[in-house]
Amino acid sequence: MVKIEKITQPLFFIVLIIALLIILKGFLIPFSFGLLIALIVYPICKKLENKKIPRPIAIFISIFFVVFIFFGIILIFVWQLNVLNKEIPELTIKLNQLLLDTQNWIDTTFGLSMVEQNSLITNTGKNLVSNVGKVISGSFSMATGTLFNLIIIPTYSILILYYRGMLVKFVSSFLGVKYKENLPVILSETITVYFNYIKGMLLVYFIVGILNSIGLLILGVEHAIMFGMASALLTIIPYIGILISSILPISMVWIDKGNILYPLGVIGVFSIVQFLEGNIISPYIVGKQLGINAFVSITAIFLGGLIWGFSGMILFLPFVAILKIISGHVDTLKPIHLFLKTP
């Protein structure tokens, strides 16, 4: 009976945590990103405060640094769209020719006449139009949620930095005398872990940029290195970033080569690199920077994606790293520390 209780209690605790993560994700995701940013910029903020700069001004400068980088990424995004806009007329001619060739091939191969094909396209278009309202509604909802997060995440970061002393005292009040002494060490190690996490992510994007560039160079895409690095940088923006960053090299290689196999090759390059990044490069490099073994890193990314989607894939690795730090300072949790850390 005792053995069953020892098994069921941890399982119940795990299920409870997962349930809370799912139920409260609307609050926890932006708060976690805010905490992540606060921990990253804390060393900058602390140095400014040590130079007698008032805390509110130091916080503003630190957060502004992050916002500046973010808008730099947006500018790259807009730049790619502007470059693509110049290629649209020639791309449109290529597209029309491709559609005409495709229709002729369908007519010759399957006996489906141009009139029948156009009728099928028209009916399909009507069905798509009937669902436009749902698409617009969903897009508006997504845009509203993104705008809200762009406001609330920096707000959380500012509040955490400003009231950090109070938050530390609050956490400390729940700890016994033994663990109160370890709290400053845990916080210091956590800040170091987050710094290493960002360093690891930058290294990942650099490697992804190199792999993208090599693939595009092999295909003969003009400005391959520029496109490869820009694509790696824009993968920070979930889903949309990699889509937009691939459109320009696809269109340029199509215009230059005039063969559909080259655009398919570009898609293949980005797909392979993204697979390597998500399943091998990120788990190994970021996990190594965080001091977590590859098995735990891959599992954390996978479970994060299941529970919180793309946000979970970013946040769960640092969460596990913090758990590793805490378990290293709590005697009863030492087995967890040994399981999480790198050999």
Residue-level pLDDT, tens digit, the chain, 343 residues: 445 655 676 677 778 888 888 888 888 999 988 888 888 888 889 899 999 899 999 999 988 888 887 777 677 667 766 766 666 676 677 667 767 777 777 777 777 777 776 776 666 655 544 554 444 444 444 445 566 777 888 899 999 999 988 888 887 777 766 677 777 888 888 887 777 777 788 888 889 889 988 988 888 887 788 788 877 877 665 555 667 677 778 777 777 776 778 888 888 888 888 888 877 887 778 777 777 887 888 888 888 888 888 788 888 888 888 888 888 877 777 888 888 887 7
Give me the pLDDT at residue 304, please.
Answer: 86
Q: Kindly report the backbone phi and psi dihedral angles of residue 195, in degrees, each rounded to the nearest multiple of 5, phi listed first.
A: -60, -45
3-state secondary structure of 128: helix
pLDDT at 4: 61
pLDDT of residue 229: 81
Distance CA 72, CA 88 (A): 25
CA dihedral (48, 51, 55, 56) positive or negative = negative
- The total of other beta-carbon atoms located within 10 Å of residue 47's CB is 12
Contact 319, 313 (CB under 8 A): no
Helices and strands (H and E) in the chain: how many: 15, 0
* Alpha-carbon span 162 to 42, nearest angstrom: 10
Angle between helices 310-329 and 282-290 (to 10 degrees): 30
* DSSP H helices in 111-182: 114-130, 132-162, 164-172, 177-180
CA torsion angle 280 266 209 149 (round to 10)? -80
Residues 6+ positions from 218 with CB-CB distance below 8 Å:
none
